[in-house]
Structure 1
Amino acid sequence: MDNYDHTDTRILNELQRDAGQSLEALGEAVGLSRNATWRRVKALEEAGIITARVALVNPVKVGQGLMVFMQVRTHSHDPDWQAKFNRATRIIPGILSVYRMTGDLDYLIRARVRDVAGYDALYQQLIHQVPIADVAASFVMEEIKDSTALPL
Protein backbone atom coordinates (compact mmCIF):
# COMPACT_ATOMS: atom_id res chain seq x y z
CA MET A 1 0.00 0.00 0.00
CA ASP A 2 1.96 3.00 -1.27
CA ASN A 3 -0.81 5.53 -0.82
CA TYR A 4 -3.87 5.68 1.30
CA ASP A 5 -7.00 7.57 0.39
CA HIS A 6 -9.42 9.88 2.20
CA THR A 7 -11.40 6.94 3.62
CA ASP A 8 -8.21 5.38 5.00
CA THR A 9 -7.34 8.74 6.56
CA ARG A 10 -10.76 8.84 8.23
CA ILE A 11 -10.25 5.29 9.51
CA LEU A 12 -6.83 6.22 10.90
CA ASN A 13 -8.21 9.33 12.60
CA GLU A 14 -11.04 7.32 14.15
CA LEU A 15 -8.66 4.60 15.37
CA GLN A 16 -6.29 7.20 16.84
CA ARG A 17 -9.25 8.60 18.75
CA ASP A 18 -10.54 5.16 19.90
CA ALA A 19 -8.83 1.96 18.77
CA GLY A 20 -11.20 -0.12 20.90
CA GLN A 21 -14.34 0.69 18.97
CA SER A 22 -16.08 -2.12 17.13
CA LEU A 23 -15.74 -2.59 13.38
CA GLU A 24 -19.44 -1.76 13.12
CA ALA A 25 -18.96 1.59 14.89
CA LEU A 26 -15.82 2.35 12.91
CA GLY A 27 -17.57 1.50 9.62
CA GLU A 28 -20.53 3.66 10.54
CA ALA A 29 -18.21 6.58 11.34
CA VAL A 30 -16.47 6.36 7.95
CA GLY A 31 -19.42 5.22 5.82
CA LEU A 32 -18.37 1.62 5.09
CA SER A 33 -19.74 -1.83 5.82
CA ARG A 34 -18.16 -3.93 8.58
CA ASN A 35 -16.37 -6.17 6.04
CA ALA A 36 -15.07 -3.27 3.94
CA THR A 37 -13.82 -1.60 7.10
CA TRP A 38 -12.11 -4.81 8.25
CA ARG A 39 -10.37 -5.16 4.85
CA ARG A 40 -9.11 -1.59 4.96
CA VAL A 41 -7.85 -1.89 8.55
CA LYS A 42 -6.13 -5.18 7.65
CA ALA A 43 -4.45 -3.54 4.62
CA LEU A 44 -3.29 -0.61 6.77
CA GLU A 45 -1.81 -3.08 9.28
CA GLU A 46 -0.11 -5.16 6.58
CA ALA A 47 1.38 -2.01 5.05
CA GLY A 48 2.85 -1.08 8.42
CA ILE A 49 0.81 2.13 8.63
CA ILE A 50 -0.99 0.82 11.72
CA THR A 51 1.77 -0.55 13.93
CA ALA A 52 -0.18 -1.36 17.11
CA ARG A 53 -3.49 -0.90 18.88
CA VAL A 54 -3.02 -0.06 22.55
CA ALA A 55 -4.81 1.19 25.65
CA LEU A 56 -3.60 4.46 27.13
CA VAL A 57 -3.18 4.21 30.90
CA ASN A 58 -3.51 7.15 33.28
CA PRO A 59 0.01 7.37 34.79
CA VAL A 60 -1.15 9.06 38.01
CA LYS A 61 -3.67 6.29 38.73
CA VAL A 62 -0.94 3.63 38.44
CA GLY A 63 1.65 5.46 40.53
CA GLN A 64 3.79 6.89 37.71
CA GLY A 65 2.81 10.52 38.07
CA LEU A 66 6.18 12.19 37.49
CA MET A 67 7.43 12.63 33.94
CA VAL A 68 11.10 13.42 33.46
CA PHE A 69 13.16 14.33 30.42
CA MET A 70 16.79 13.31 30.68
CA GLN A 71 19.37 15.02 28.48
CA VAL A 72 22.29 12.62 28.00
CA ARG A 73 25.77 13.46 26.77
CA THR A 74 28.42 10.86 26.10
CA HIS A 75 32.11 10.86 25.28
CA SER A 76 31.79 7.66 23.29
CA HIS A 77 30.10 7.26 19.94
CA ASP A 78 31.41 3.82 19.02
CA PRO A 79 29.01 1.04 17.96
CA ASP A 80 29.64 -1.06 21.10
CA TRP A 81 28.71 1.79 23.43
CA GLN A 82 25.67 2.58 21.32
CA ALA A 83 24.49 -1.05 21.39
CA LYS A 84 24.97 -1.18 25.16
CA PHE A 85 23.06 2.10 25.64
CA ASN A 86 20.23 0.97 23.33
CA ARG A 87 19.92 -2.34 25.19
CA ALA A 88 19.96 -0.65 28.62
CA THR A 89 17.30 1.92 27.72
CA ARG A 90 15.03 -0.74 26.23
CA ILE A 91 15.01 -2.92 29.35
CA ILE A 92 14.80 -0.29 32.11
CA PRO A 93 11.18 0.05 33.27
CA GLY A 94 9.94 3.61 33.21
CA ILE A 95 11.88 4.69 30.13
CA LEU A 96 9.20 5.43 27.54
CA SER A 97 11.13 7.04 24.69
CA VAL A 98 14.76 7.48 23.67
CA TYR A 99 15.90 9.76 20.87
CA ARG A 100 19.38 10.27 19.40
CA MET A 101 19.68 14.00 18.83
CA THR A 102 21.60 16.58 16.86
CA GLY A 103 23.14 19.60 18.56
CA ASP A 104 24.58 19.90 22.05
CA LEU A 105 23.08 16.80 23.57
CA ASP A 106 23.43 13.25 22.32
CA TYR A 107 20.24 11.59 23.60
CA LEU A 108 16.91 12.67 25.00
CA ILE A 109 15.06 10.22 27.24
CA ARG A 110 11.42 10.56 28.31
CA ALA A 111 10.58 8.56 31.41
CA ARG A 112 7.76 8.07 33.92
CA VAL A 113 8.45 7.41 37.59
CA ARG A 114 6.59 7.60 40.90
CA ASP A 115 8.64 10.47 42.36
CA VAL A 116 12.15 11.92 42.59
CA ALA A 117 13.38 8.82 44.44
CA GLY A 118 11.98 6.75 41.56
CA TYR A 119 13.92 8.93 39.14
CA ASP A 120 17.11 8.39 41.15
CA ALA A 121 16.59 4.62 41.00
CA LEU A 122 16.11 4.80 37.22
CA TYR A 123 19.20 7.01 36.88
CA GLN A 124 21.27 4.60 38.98
CA GLN A 125 20.15 1.66 36.82
CA LEU A 126 21.18 3.50 33.68
CA ILE A 127 24.64 4.63 34.81
CA HIS A 128 25.43 1.16 36.18
CA GLN A 129 24.75 -0.38 32.77
CA VAL A 130 26.51 2.10 30.51
CA PRO A 131 29.08 4.89 31.09
CA ILE A 132 27.63 8.35 30.49
CA ALA A 133 29.51 11.66 30.45
CA ASP A 134 26.64 13.83 31.70
CA VAL A 135 22.95 13.55 32.50
CA ALA A 136 20.68 16.51 33.19
CA ALA A 137 17.06 16.01 34.18
CA SER A 138 14.03 18.24 33.79
CA PHE A 139 10.86 17.33 35.67
CA VAL A 140 7.49 18.12 34.13
CA MET A 141 5.47 20.44 36.36
CA GLU A 142 2.37 20.57 34.14
CA GLU A 143 1.35 18.56 31.09
CA ILE A 144 -0.33 21.02 28.78
CA LYS A 145 -0.66 18.70 25.80
CA ASP A 146 0.38 15.07 25.46
CA SER A 147 -1.07 13.31 22.45
CA THR A 148 -0.39 10.12 20.56
CA ALA A 149 -2.49 11.13 17.55
CA LEU A 150 -0.66 12.14 14.36
CA PRO A 151 -2.19 14.95 12.27
CA LEU A 152 -3.37 13.28 9.06
Structure 2
Amino acid sequence: MDKRDKRILEYLQQDASMPVAELAEKVDLSVSACWRRIKALEENGLILKRVALVDRKKANLPMTVFVGVKTSRHSMEWFEAFQDTIAAIPEIVEAYRLTGNIDYLLRLVVPDIDAYDRVYKRLISKLDFTDVTSFISMEELKFTTAVPVSYI
Protein backbone atom coordinates (compact mmCIF):
# COMPACT_ATOMS: atom_id res chain seq x y z
CA MET A 1 0.00 0.00 0.00
CA ASP A 2 1.63 3.20 -1.15
CA LYS A 3 0.54 6.85 -1.37
CA ARG A 4 -1.16 6.32 -4.73
CA ASP A 5 -3.25 3.45 -3.37
CA LYS A 6 -4.29 5.66 -0.47
CA ARG A 7 -5.21 8.50 -2.83
CA ILE A 8 -7.21 6.06 -4.97
CA LEU A 9 -9.11 5.00 -1.83
CA GLU A 10 -9.74 8.60 -0.82
CA TYR A 11 -11.17 9.48 -4.26
CA LEU A 12 -13.27 6.32 -4.50
CA GLN A 13 -14.72 6.92 -1.04
CA GLN A 14 -15.91 10.30 -2.27
CA ASP A 15 -17.23 9.07 -5.63
CA ALA A 16 -17.01 5.39 -6.54
CA SER A 17 -18.58 6.12 -9.92
CA MET A 18 -15.61 8.24 -11.02
CA PRO A 19 -14.35 6.95 -14.38
CA VAL A 20 -11.03 5.11 -14.10
CA ALA A 21 -9.48 7.47 -16.66
CA GLU A 22 -10.32 10.49 -14.49
CA LEU A 23 -9.10 8.77 -11.34
CA ALA A 24 -5.88 7.70 -13.07
CA GLU A 25 -5.21 11.29 -14.05
CA LYS A 26 -5.80 12.53 -10.49
CA VAL A 27 -3.33 10.02 -9.03
CA ASP A 28 -0.83 10.32 -11.89
CA LEU A 29 -1.09 6.76 -13.24
CA SER A 30 -1.96 5.18 -16.55
CA VAL A 31 -5.53 3.92 -16.84
CA SER A 32 -4.43 0.28 -16.85
CA ALA A 33 -2.15 0.72 -13.82
CA CYS A 34 -4.93 2.48 -11.93
CA TRP A 35 -7.41 -0.28 -12.84
CA ARG A 36 -4.97 -2.96 -11.63
CA ARG A 37 -4.57 -1.17 -8.31
CA ILE A 38 -8.33 -0.86 -7.85
CA LYS A 39 -8.74 -4.57 -8.63
CA ALA A 40 -5.98 -5.44 -6.13
CA LEU A 41 -7.70 -3.33 -3.44
CA GLU A 42 -10.94 -5.21 -4.13
CA GLU A 43 -9.28 -8.63 -4.20
CA ASN A 44 -7.48 -8.12 -0.90
CA GLY A 45 -10.77 -7.03 0.69
CA LEU A 46 -9.87 -3.43 1.47
CA ILE A 47 -12.65 -2.29 -0.87
CA LEU A 48 -15.64 -4.34 0.26
CA LYS A 49 -18.15 -3.13 -2.33
CA ARG A 50 -19.33 -0.05 -4.17
CA VAL A 51 -22.75 1.32 -3.34
CA ALA A 52 -25.05 4.24 -4.07
CA LEU A 53 -25.85 6.54 -1.16
CA VAL A 54 -29.51 7.50 -1.08
CA ASP A 55 -30.70 10.92 0.05
CA ARG A 56 -32.77 9.94 3.11
CA LYS A 57 -34.97 13.05 2.95
CA LYS A 58 -35.86 12.43 -0.69
CA ALA A 59 -36.54 8.79 0.22
CA ASN A 60 -38.97 10.00 2.93
CA LEU A 61 -36.71 8.84 5.77
CA PRO A 62 -35.73 12.15 7.41
CA MET A 63 -35.77 10.95 11.02
CA THR A 64 -32.83 9.22 12.68
CA VAL A 65 -33.47 7.40 15.94
CA PHE A 66 -30.76 5.84 18.07
CA VAL A 67 -31.99 3.04 20.29
CA GLY A 68 -30.08 1.79 23.29
CA VAL A 69 -30.97 -1.78 24.26
CA LYS A 70 -30.27 -3.48 27.57
CA THR A 71 -30.89 -7.15 28.18
CA SER A 72 -30.45 -9.49 31.08
CA ARG A 73 -30.05 -12.39 28.65
CA HIS A 74 -26.53 -13.01 27.40
CA SER A 75 -26.81 -16.46 25.87
CA MET A 76 -25.82 -17.30 22.30
CA GLU A 77 -29.42 -18.36 21.66
CA TRP A 78 -30.71 -14.90 22.62
CA PHE A 79 -27.91 -13.15 20.71
CA GLU A 80 -28.68 -15.11 17.53
CA ALA A 81 -32.40 -14.39 17.88
CA PHE A 82 -31.56 -10.69 18.32
CA GLN A 83 -29.37 -10.73 15.20
CA ASP A 84 -32.13 -12.43 13.20
CA THR A 85 -34.71 -9.94 14.47
CA ILE A 86 -32.72 -6.80 13.62
CA ALA A 87 -31.66 -8.24 10.25
CA ALA A 88 -35.33 -8.55 9.31
CA ILE A 89 -36.11 -4.88 10.05
CA PRO A 90 -34.89 -2.66 7.19
CA GLU A 91 -35.32 0.55 9.19
CA ILE A 92 -32.45 -0.61 11.41
CA VAL A 93 -29.46 0.45 9.33
CA GLU A 94 -26.71 -0.05 11.92
CA ALA A 95 -26.33 -2.15 15.06
CA TYR A 96 -23.47 -2.41 17.52
CA ARG A 97 -22.72 -4.53 20.59
CA LEU A 98 -21.21 -2.29 23.26
CA THR A 99 -19.37 -2.27 26.53
CA GLY A 100 -20.81 -0.23 29.37
CA ASN A 101 -24.37 0.41 30.50
CA ILE A 102 -26.04 -0.27 27.14
CA ASP A 103 -25.65 -3.70 25.56
CA TYR A 104 -26.59 -2.75 21.98
CA LEU A 105 -26.96 0.47 20.05
CA LEU A 106 -29.16 0.61 16.97
CA ARG A 107 -29.49 3.36 14.39
CA LEU A 108 -32.81 3.56 12.62
CA VAL A 109 -34.06 5.73 9.77
CA VAL A 110 -37.80 6.30 9.60
CA PRO A 111 -40.25 8.79 8.09
CA ASP A 112 -41.85 9.77 11.42
CA ILE A 113 -42.49 8.84 15.03
CA ASP A 114 -45.38 6.54 14.09
CA ALA A 115 -43.07 4.46 11.91
CA TYR A 116 -40.54 4.31 14.75
CA ASP A 117 -43.29 3.14 17.10
CA ARG A 118 -44.14 0.29 14.70
CA VAL A 119 -40.47 -0.77 14.63
CA TYR A 120 -40.31 -0.55 18.43
CA LYS A 121 -43.38 -2.76 18.80
CA ARG A 122 -41.95 -5.23 16.30
CA LEU A 123 -38.72 -5.42 18.33
CA ILE A 124 -40.38 -5.93 21.70
CA SER A 125 -42.80 -8.50 20.29
CA LYS A 126 -39.89 -10.73 19.27
CA LEU A 127 -37.55 -10.56 22.28
CA ASP A 128 -37.41 -9.62 25.95
CA PHE A 129 -35.37 -6.56 26.88
CA THR A 130 -34.49 -5.08 30.25
CA ASP A 131 -34.66 -1.57 28.81
CA VAL A 132 -35.11 0.13 25.44
CA THR A 133 -34.17 3.82 25.34
CA SER A 134 -34.72 5.97 22.27
CA PHE A 135 -32.84 9.09 21.25
CA ILE A 136 -34.30 11.10 18.38
CA SER A 137 -31.73 13.04 16.40
CA MET A 138 -32.64 16.69 16.00
CA GLU A 139 -29.87 17.55 13.55
CA GLU A 140 -27.20 15.64 11.66
CA LEU A 141 -23.91 17.47 12.23
CA LYS A 142 -21.62 15.07 10.39
CA PHE A 143 -22.20 12.01 8.28
CA THR A 144 -19.65 10.22 6.17
CA THR A 145 -19.01 6.72 4.94
CA ALA A 146 -15.35 7.51 4.27
CA VAL A 147 -12.72 6.19 6.67
CA PRO A 148 -9.30 7.79 7.16
CA VAL A 149 -6.64 6.07 5.07
CA SER A 150 -3.73 7.38 7.15
CA TYR A 151 -3.78 4.26 9.36
CA ILE A 152 -3.27 1.82 6.51
Shorter-chain TM range is over 0.9
RMSD in angstroms over aligned alpha carbons? 0.7
Question: Which of residues 79, 82, 86 is equivalent to 2:79?
Answer: 82
- Which residue of 9, 15, 39 corresponds with 2:36? 39
Match of 1:115 among 112, 116, 127: 112
How far does residue 126 in structure 1 lie from its aligned partner after superposition?
Answer: 1.2
Aligned length: 149
Superimposed CA distance per residue, residues 76-95 of structure 1 (whole angstroms, 9 cap, x where no aligned partner) = 00000000001111110110
Alignment of 1:1-152 (within 5 A): 4-152=1-149
User: TM-score if structure 1 supplies the norm length?
Assistant: 0.96
Unaligned runs of 5+ in 1: none
Q: CA deviation at 1:43?
A: 0.5
Matched residues in 2 for 1:102 and 1:83: separation? 18
Distance in 1 (alpha carbons) for counterparts of 2:44 and 2:108 = 30
- How far does residue 125 in structure 1 lie from its aligned partner after superposition? 1.3
Structure 2 SS opposite 1:19 = coil
* Identical residues among aligned pairs (%): 44
Secondary structure, aligned partner of 1:127: helix
Structure 1 residue 46: deviation in Å?
A: 0.8
Structure 2, unpaired ranges of 5+ = none
The residue identity in structure 1 corresponding to 2:4 is T
How much has 1:29 moved relative to structure 2?
Answer: 1.0
TM-score w.r.t. the length of structure 2 is: 0.96
Structure 1's consecutive aligned runs of 4 or more residues displaced over 2 angstroms after TM superposition are none
Aligned partner of residue 80 in structure 1, secondary structure: helix
> What code does the residue aligned with 1:38 have?
W
The code of the aligned residue for 1:98 comes to: A
Shift of 1:54: 0.8
